């Protein structure tokens, strides 16, 4: 039989779901079945207590289409959200399959929005569909003096590897990391930059730098997950002004702001602008 014939049959269906969570090349594979399921070279693992969702909905409203997955509290992918959540998206693809059939179909695609632990032994993963991205703000560039390009982006054009330094965490507090090498740069040099560290399979987690003062870098979100002696990649920041763009990065040709913008609005009612 085929997947469709099983799906539409009155009593021949034996459905289960496979859940694929992905962060870059990292994978976490689970199944709602009572045993591990092999799909090609991948093994979808059954979990003690089971994993299930509250059903797929298609309404046209992204907020209504949120999918809630219930799983054991110690589910590996859920544990990533204890404390500070991952800096990059954890994607989710759900496959529907029937017992005895090799065919499986993609029934849902999205990403993890948040994770909570409503009970001591239970985790709840709230996932948003791919369509939720379509409701996000699209146009973000404005007619303004500050640069609107994201630092190190394609529009910015600065090669971040040319300015990256490696630093060992010599000291740590709840909010800041400490290294004497940071004091060799002017205060604020690393403000609005970030630090990153490997999490496996070529993937990196990151934390933005809220403030740089002397040998201290105050991190947005704190230092949870970091340890003394750990090596980080550190990138300087930018205050989106021409002096820093030109003086630090020699990048004035790609500056995204309008320096000679008039100091008054063309919509103030005066016909002479």
The pLDDT value given to residue 84: 87
Burial class (CB in 10 A: 0-12, 13-18, 19+), 159: exposed
Average pLDDT for 98-112: 87
Contact 42, 27 (CB under 8 A): yes
0.95 cut: is pTM over it? Answer: no
Question: Quick check: 4 pLDDT over 70?
Answer: no
Digit-coded pLDDT (tens) for 21-57: 999 999 999 999 999 999 989 999 999 999 999 998 8
CA separation for the pair 24, 204 (Å, rounded): 10
- Give Cβ neighbours of residue 104 (< 8 Å, ≥ 6 apart): 3, 18, 39, 95, 96, 97
Which has more pLDDT, 68 or 101? 68
Average pLDDT for 221-250: 95
Phi, psi for 112 (deg, rounded to 5): -75, 130
Which has more pLDDT, 98 or 208? 208
The pLDDT value given to residue 15: 84
Digit-coded pLDDT (tens) for 112-132: 999 999 999 999 999 999 887
Token digits of residue 130: 């791919």
Contact 143, 87 (CB under 8 A): no
> Which domains does the chain carry?
10-132 (2.40.10), 164-235 (2.40.10)
The pLDDT value given to residue 7: 63
The pLDDT value given to residue 264: 77
Rounded to 5°, angle at Cα 149 from 135 and 266: 85
Residue with tokens 């009572």: 34
Question: Quick check: 12 pLDDT over 70?
Answer: no
């Amino acid at each position: 039989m085929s997947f469709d014939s099983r799906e539409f049959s009155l009593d021949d269906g034996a459905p289960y779901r496979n859940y694929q969570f992905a962060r870059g090349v990292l994978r976490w594979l689970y199944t709602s079945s009572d045993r591990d399921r092999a799909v090609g070279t991948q093994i979808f693992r059954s979990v003690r207590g089971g994993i299930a969702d509250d059903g797929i909905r298609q309404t046209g409203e992204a907020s209504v289409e949120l999918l809630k997955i219930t799983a054991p509290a110690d589910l590996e992918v859920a544990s990533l959200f204890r404390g500070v959540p991952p800096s990059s998206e954890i994607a989710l693809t759900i496959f529907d399959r029937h017992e005895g059939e090799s065919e499986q179909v993609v029934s849902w695609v999205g990403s993890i929005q948040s994770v909570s632990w409503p009970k001591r032994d239970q985790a709840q993963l709230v996932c948003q569909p791919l369509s939720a991205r379509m409701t996000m703000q699209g146009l973000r560039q404005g007619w303004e003096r500050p640069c609107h390009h994201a630092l190190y982006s394609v529009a910015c054009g600065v090669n971040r590897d040319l300015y990256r330094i490696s630093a060992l965490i010599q000291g740590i507090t709840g909010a800041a990391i400490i290294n004497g090498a940071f004091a060799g740069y002017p205060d604020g040099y690393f403000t609005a930059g970030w630090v990153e560290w490997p999490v496996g399979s070529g993937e990196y987690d990151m934390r933005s730098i809220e403030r740089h003062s002397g040998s201290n870098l105050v991190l947005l979100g704190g230092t949870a997950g970091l340890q003394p002696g750990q090596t980080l990649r550190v990138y300087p920041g930018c205050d989106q002004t021409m002096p820093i763009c030109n003086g630090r990065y020699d990048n004035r040709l790609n500056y995204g702001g309008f320096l000679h913008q008039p100091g008054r609005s063309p919509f103030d009612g005066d016909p002479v602008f």
